[in-house]
Chains A and B, each alone.
Chain A
Amino acid sequence: MSEPAPASRARLAVLLGGLGLLVIVSALGALFIGSASVPPRDVLAVLTGRVRGVDQVVVLSLRLPRILAALLAGGALAVAGAGFQGLARNPLAEPSVLGVSSGAAFGVVVAQVFGLGGSLVEAVGLAACAFAGALVAGGAVYLIASRAGGLPVHTLLLAGVIVGIFFSSAITVLISVVDFDRLGGVVHWLLGNLGPVAPGSLAVFAALTAVGGWLVIGAARRLNLLALGEESAQQLGVDALGLKRRIFAGAALLTAAAVAFAGPIGFVGLIVPQSLRLLLGPDNRVVIPAALLGGGAFLLLADTVARNVIAPAELSVGVITAFCGTPFFIYLLRARAANPHL
């Protein structure tokens, strides 16, 4: 493996510039592609405000919010994954693997039972329920898996699976008990499905992603030091307990936002940060900001495939990420046995 250049502001700026360009190009590309055939010339006309009617609805009210939701969800899940990986010092930790996504999803279903929907205030309530669910699930996994001296890899993963199964079952119970019509589309959403997101919800989603991203990215240097072990990190001046709480809160908030507005889409938090680590080295100050943009681009790409591969029908984007994520998970699991640096 070639030696990555040292982390610096200049290197990060170049990297983020490149990834930002990738995000813009894929977002523009995705505006032109969809099951409703809108000729490219008409898309341009809509974007310049010269056309109204059906084409405008398709491009501005269906495709654009969905593209923005994909960018936000992908970025949020990738940063959450990188945060959990640093926190657990475990490359396989990830919101869906850890059961945190399922906890958040349970919170969302509870909120929907109470009829919370798309308005700005309701969107905040929805996200709050998701955040509560994510905290409970993450806390449960931590309590089950923690031993004196750390979180053993296999115990952590098994605890995540068990907590995930518990909350999935709890969701099934709720769906069975409550009138199904009131939870319209919930099954599709549970598979991880980017639908049209209302403008109010999109604004809440963006704000929560910004706060969660700041909590995790702002602590990236200290997260590097945590790889030395808690005691050594403290001896270098890191408030280890405060750092762990901050990263956990940030990653749970990002997971909650993504689950509330896009559904429990799995494996983005595994694929994106780990691929970036293989390319860029282990420095969280580079990997995590890159994951914010790279995760967005990845999920947008996956969603564009999901929208078009069996058009006019649609696949859930969670299916695409799971098909990418499971082989990647197996690869990491096997490679780790041979080389613990991965």
Chain B
Amino acid sequence: MTPLVDCQRVAFAYPARNPGAGAFAIRDLTFEVRAGETFGVIGPNASGKTTLVRLLSRVLAPSGGRILLEGQDVTRLDRAAVARQVAVVPQDIPHGFPHTVEELVLMGRFPRAPHRFFETEADRAASRRAMEAVGVLELRSALLDRLSGGERQRVMLARALAQEPRLLILDEPTAHLDLRYQAECAGLLRRLAGQRRLTIVLVSHDLGFAAELCDRLLLMAAGSPVRVGPPETVMDEGVLEAVYGCRVIVDKHPISRRPTVHLVYPTDTD
């Protein structure tokens, strides 16, 4: 079966004069994402996670190798065609964004008919379904700046769902969320993966969160893949200590039995 995403020896470097803000180069990256799975991308800062999101969503084109989306080279597809298949949930929306929640979610309908000036009733219905799916329908007239971090997160997820994509990419979904919203976010993603058969790529700093939700993980370091596989094989004490440069203990979550990582905090005698 053709994988949904097939990255073959992908390389990318930002031009020296114009480095991407906070994003780093990628070398010789090969992995695939299978239809229906939840795939986690983990790694320390500067490991190339953000660059990978930009490559998968065709914001950037690889300088070497190729990325196939259902067997088609993404660089040969136009942007709207990619956006009909791949939806990205960004970390946040710019401050002062002037539109309401519903207007934002309707923007997710753009790639479905880029040459249309106004959305149709069908677009409005799709947006309402997306808002319902993540429980933000009652917020539809609110402005984004008035919402909590968890609400903003769900609204951005609704916009991505309105695209009706095959692949959902989440860029650090828990970065701005406290524990309750992290739990909500995890529940929501499980539901989307389970009920909608959505393929999810989850880019996260939070190793426990990624291990809990993902079928397989990709561990990156300095733009190169270190390990790909189920959380149990990727979350190895020796490997993580080498990649992150600190002492860790890998344990099992008492309920899910998935791996969790404990940081060994330095004492004052170290």
A interface with B by C-beta (< 8 Å): 3, 6-9, 12, 89, 148-149, 220-222, 224-225, 227-229, 231-232, 234-239, 277, 282-283, 285, 340-341
Q: What are 20 A-B contacts with C-beta separation under 8 Å?
A: A6-B124, A89-B94, A220-B117, A222-B110, A224-B99, A225-B107, A227-B97, A228-B97, A229-B94, A231-B54, A231-B59, A231-B90, A232-B90, A232-B93, A234-B58, A234-B79, A236-B83, A340-B95, A340-B96, A341-B145
B21 within 8 A of A: yes
Verify B145–A236 contact, CB threshold 8 A.
Answer: no
Chain B residue nearest to A89 in the complex (CB): B94
Given contacts A6-B102, A221-B117, contact A237 B107 (CB under 8 A): no
User: Which of chain A's residues have a CB closer than 8 A to the CB of B78?
Assistant: 237
| Min C-beta distance of A36 to chain B, whole Å | 45
In whole angstroms, what is the CA distance A61 to B254 when docked? 89
In whole angstroms, what is the CA distance A244 to B163 when docked? 23
Given contacts A3-B141, A283-B99, A283-B103, contact A237 B114 (CB under 8 A): yes
B98 within 8 A of A: yes
| Min C-beta distance of B90 to chain A, whole Å | 5
Verify A227–B90 contact, CB threshold 8 A.
Answer: no
B143 within 8 A of A: yes
B82 within 8 A of A: yes
Verify A239–B96 contact, CB threshold 8 A.
Answer: no
Query: What is the interface size of chain B, counting residues whose CB is below 8 A from a CB of the partner?
Result: 42
In whole angstroms, what is the CA distance A8 to B141 when docked? 16
Chain B residue nearest to A277 in the complex (CB): B98
User: Which of chain B's residues have a CB closer than 8 A to the CB of A237?
Assistant: 78-84, 110-111, 114
In whole angstroms, what is the CA distance A231 to B54 when docked? 8
Verify A234–B59 contact, CB threshold 8 A.
Answer: yes
B108 within 8 A of A: yes
For the complex with contacts A220-B117, A228-B97, 4 further pairs of A-B residues with Cβ separation under 8 Å are: A225-B110, A237-B78, A237-B110, A282-B99
Chain B residue nearest to A242 in the complex (CB): B79
User: Which of chain A's residues have a CB closer than 8 A to the CB of B107?
Assistant: 224-225, 228, 236
Given contacts A148-B21, A228-B93, A231-B90, contact A238 B110 (CB under 8 A): yes
In whole angstroms, what is the CA distance A293 to B81 when docked? 36
> Digit string of B63-104 for contact with A (CB within 8 Å is 1, else 0)?
000000000000000111111101110100111111110111
User: Which of chain B's residues have a CB closer than 8 A to the CB of A232?
Assistant: 88, 90, 93
| Min C-beta distance of B138 to chain A, whole Å | 14
Verify A149–B21 contact, CB threshold 8 A.
Answer: yes
